[in-house]
Amino acid sequence: MIKFPMVKKPVYGVILAGGKSSRYHRLRHKFLDLYQGKEIILHVYEAMKPLVEKVVIVVGKEHEEVRRIFRGKKEIVFCIQETPLGTGHALLSTAPYLEGKDVVMLVSFADKPLITTSTLKKLVDTHLSSGAEITFATAVLPDPGTKGRIIRKDGVFVDIVEYKDADENIKKIKEVHAGYLCCYSRSIFRELRKLDNNNAQKEYYLTKVYSKFLQDGFQVKTVEIPGVESYDVNYVHQLDNIEKWKEIFRSP
């Protein structure tokens, strides 16, 4: 396992695999489909595993199939998101296991087939060296699609606006939330409990937790990652378009 000498706390991974995949028109969750011969969630796990002591997987009603994939892996812990109330609620579902521990948390969504260990390590390194209470990854994309837009004032991060809540000017922003963050168990659950669902989707957005930290006087850090690694599979056709996406970002 890769060590982080600047911190004595253990690093735990969290993969958010709950939710209901409402845009993915197949009978099973998007992260259970195959890319290069293995489930998408396994790509996330394998990128994260060299960096962490434990991997906590948040699951919903499809959890038996997810448990089958990870059978025999002793470093895996499952937490149940009983009701799919949003990504913020999904991370809060790890509180029964993580809240009493003093650990660094490396968090990823489960539908990220192109993430690499080196990029996740960069995120953790940046977080640990910055003094921030929470750090998250952003990416600049030629076509940001429906990803949450990063709002900055004079270059400094102030908020994230989800696509369904964005006006036309905000939708023009190319910098987006990439789907990865690093935080501390000592503070993340306190801030998650402050989230509300006053938004277009009536969900508890994980992306709104960063502004909660700012409001409470904590430092929030961002780190830009390669755009290709922000790719997620929200629609069936996106699974077939992964190679096209990689070509967009391939150096000439």
Q: Which band of pLDDT confidence, cut at 50, 70 and 90, is reported for residue 246?
A: confident
Residue 25 has pLDDT above 70, yes or no: no
Q: Which band of pLDDT confidence, cut at 50, 70 and 90, is reported for residue 23?
A: very low
β-pair partners for 95? none
Residue 235 has pLDDT above 60, yes or no: no
CA atoms within 13 A on the CB side of 223: 23
Quick one: average pLDDT of 105-131?
97
Compute the CA torsion angle 13, 18, 19, 21 (nearest 10 deg).
Answer: 90
Q: Quick: pLDDT tens for 38-77.
A: 999 999 999 999 999 999 999 987 688 999 999 999 999 9
Pairwise pLDDT comparison (2 vs 22), residue with the higher score: 2
In this predicted structure, what is the pLDDT of residue 21?
Answer: 53
Predicted structure pTM score: 0.93
Q: Quick: pLDDT tens for 154-186.
A: 999 999 999 999 999 999 999 999 999 999 999
In this predicted structure, what is the pLDDT of residue 26?
Answer: 52
* Domains contained in the chain, CATH given: 11-138+176-244 (3.90.550.10)
Contacts of 205 (CB under 8 A, 6+ apart): 86, 87, 88, 148, 160, 162, 195, 199
